[in-house]
Amino acid sequence: MRPTGRLHLGHYTGALENWIEQQNLLQPDGSRAYETHFLIADYHNLTTSLDTGSIYGHTIDMLIDWLAAGVDPGKSPVFRQSQVKEHAELFLIFSNLITTARLERNPTLKEQVRDLNMDALCYGHLGYPVLQAADILLYKGNIVPVGEDQLPHVEITREIARKFNSHFPHQILGEVFPEPAPKITKFSRLVGLDGKAKMSKSLGNTILLSDTPDEISAKMRNAVTDTLKVRRNDPGRPEVCTVYSYHRKFTSAEELPAIEEGCRSGSLGCVDCKRMCSAAISAEIAPMLERRRDYEADPELVRQILHDGEERARKIARQTMAEVREAMHLGEVRA
Ligand code: AMP
C-alpha cells in the first residue's frame, strides 16, 4: 500500500482484511499457512506527488491503521520500499523485460489518468507495475491479496516472472521466481460515499478506519442513495444504492433481508437506513479504535516495529538478489 495517510474502508475491505486473514490462517497441524510480508510503497507515492515531506507522517498514520486492524508485526514484517535498496535494483532489471506498449495498455493506469485529470504521465508512473512486480517477487510472493484495481498489475507481475524464469534459468534452483496469484475479496471494489465507482482519498468520498461513530454518522448523512427514492415511503432499489452496498458488507446476514425488503417496499426510509448502516460500520471499527489508542500513545514502539520489519525484509531481499545475479551471470569472476 502507498502511504497516503489514514486508510479508508475501501483499503480495509479490498485488501487489509484479506491480509490479516492470510496472516492468521492455520493449517490442520496448527502451523501457519502463509508467511506474510506487508510493504509500505513509499517510492510509489512519487508517481502522483512530489510532496515527499509528508511521506513519513503518512507512513506512521498508515502503519497505525494496519496494526489497529490486526497486522501482527511478530508474524509479518512491515517495511518501507525505500529502505530496502533491492527493490530499486530488481526494478531496473525488470524494466527490460516488458515493453512500453504493454504498460500503456494497463487499465488501472488509464483509470488513474482519468480520475486525477492528469494531462501528462511521467516515466516512473508508466513503470509503476514494474516496480510492483519487484516488490512482490523479491519476497517470492505466491499470493497477493489486493483490490480489483490491482489485478492488471498482478498479471504484469506474472508475465515478468515468466519472462525472467525462461530467460535466466538458475543453475541450482531452476526458476528463481514463483508466478503469483491475486487473491481478491467479495468487496474488492468498495464504492465511495458519493456513489462513484471507488472509495478513494483523491476523490474525497471516504469513511476512515479512524473515524469515530459521530464522524461516520455525519458522513453517512450525505451518502448518495437511490436518486428515484425521493420521499420516505417511495419504493427504493437496493441494487443501485451506495448505502445498501455497505449494508451488504457490514450488516449481519440475519438483518440484511429486512433492510432490503424495507427499502423495496418503501417502509424503511433512507434516514433510518443510514443510521443502521453507520451503527454497523462503527461496530466493525470499534475494536480498531480501541487498539489504535495504545499505538498512538507509544510512537517509539511503532518506530521499533518498522525498524525490525526493515531488518527482516532486507535479509530476504538480499538473498533473492543474490539468486537473480547468479541466474544472470552478473558479477561473475572467471579465472
Ligand atoms: P493504494 O492506496 O492505491 O495503494 O491501494 C492499496 C490497496 O487497497 C490495494 O490493494 C487496492 O486495491 C485497495 N483499495 C484501495 N481502494 C479501494 C476500494 N475503494 N475498494 C477496494 N479496494 C481498494
Q: Is 120 exposed, middle or buried (0-12, 13-18, 19+ CB in 10 A)?
A: exposed
Can you give the pLDDT at residue 79?
98
Can you give the pLDDT at residue 37?
98
Indicate if ligand 1 lies below 6 Å from the C-beta of 147.
yes
Q: Is 332 exposed, middle or buried (0-12, 13-18, 19+ CB in 10 A)?
A: exposed
Can you give the pLDDT at residue 128?
95
Q: What 3-state class would DSSP assign to 41?
A: coil
Mean pLDDT of 225-238: 91
Can you give the pLDDT at residue 111?
86
pLDDT band, very low/low/confident/very high, at 89 (cuts 50, 70, 90): very high
H runs (alpha helix) in the chain: 9-11, 17-24, 42-45, 55-69, 86-94, 100-104, 107-115, 123-126, 128-137, 151-167, 213-221, 242-250, 256-265, 270-296, 299-328
| Mean per-residue pLDDT over the chain, rounded | 95
Residue with cell 508467511: 35
Q: Which of 88-92, 146-150, 223-227, 234-238 has the lowest mean pLDDT?
A: 146-150
Ligand 1 midpoint to CA 168 (Å): 33
Among the atoms of ligand 1, which is closest to the Cα of residue 192? 19
Indicate if ligand 1 lies below 6 Å from the C-beta of 203.
no
Q: What 3-state class would DSSP assign to 144?
A: strand
Can you give the pLDDT at residue 259?
97
All cell numbers assigned to 46: 512519487
Long-range CB contacts (< 8 A, 24+ apart) of 41-44? 41/1, 41/2, 41/3, 41/81, 41/132, 41/135, 42/2, 42/3, 42/80, 42/81, 42/82, 43/81, 43/82, 43/87, 43/88, 43/131, 44/2, 44/81, 44/128, 44/131, 44/132
Closest CA to 280 of 190, 217, 218: 217
Ligand 1 midpoint to CA 111 (Å): 13
Using a pLDDT cut of 90, give the percent of the chain over it: 86
Ligand 1 site-directed mutation target among 149, 157, 193, most atoms within 8 Å of CB: 149
Q: Is 207 exposed, middle or buried (0-12, 13-18, 19+ CB in 10 A)?
A: buried
Indicate if ligand 1 lies below 6 Å from the C-beta of 58.
no
Beta bridge partners of 183: 145
Q: What angle do CA 151, 285, 32 make, to 5 degrees?
A: 60
Tens-place pLDDT, residues 32-62: 999 999 999 999 999 988 999 999 999 999 9
Can you give the pLDDT at residue 168?
98
Indicate if ligand 1 lies below 6 Å from the C-beta of 14.
yes
Tens-place pLDDT, residues 127-168: 999 999 999 999 999 999 988 889 999 999 999 999 999 999
Indicate if ligand 1 lies below 6 Å from the C-beta of 189.
yes
pLDDT band, very low/low/confident/very high, at 232 (cuts 50, 70, 90): confident
Using a pLDDT cut of 70, give the percent of the chain over it: 100
Question: Helices 270-296 and 55-69: crossing angle, nearest 10°?
Answer: 110
Indicate if ligand 1 lies below 6 Å from the C-beta of 198.
yes
Can you give the pLDDT at residue 113?
85
For atom 22 of ligand 1, the residue with the nearest CA is 14
Indicate if ligand 1 lies below 6 Å from the C-beta of 39.
no
Using the 8-state DSSP alphabet, how is residue 99 labeled? -
Indicate if ligand 1 lies below 6 Å from the C-beta of 15.
yes
Residue with cell 451518502: 223
For atom 11 of ligand 1, the residue with the nearest CA is 147
Q: What 3-state class would DSSP assign to 276?
A: helix
Among the atoms of ligand 1, which is closest to the Cα of residue 11? 8
All cell numbers assigned to 325: 545475479
Indicate if ligand 1 lies below 6 Å from the C-beta of 158.
no
Using the 8-state DSSP alphabet, how is residue 284 labeled? H
Indicate if ligand 1 lies below 6 Å from the C-beta of 10.
yes
pLDDT band, very low/low/confident/very high, at 119 (cuts 50, 70, 90): confident
Among the atoms of ligand 1, which is closest to the Cα of residue 147? 12
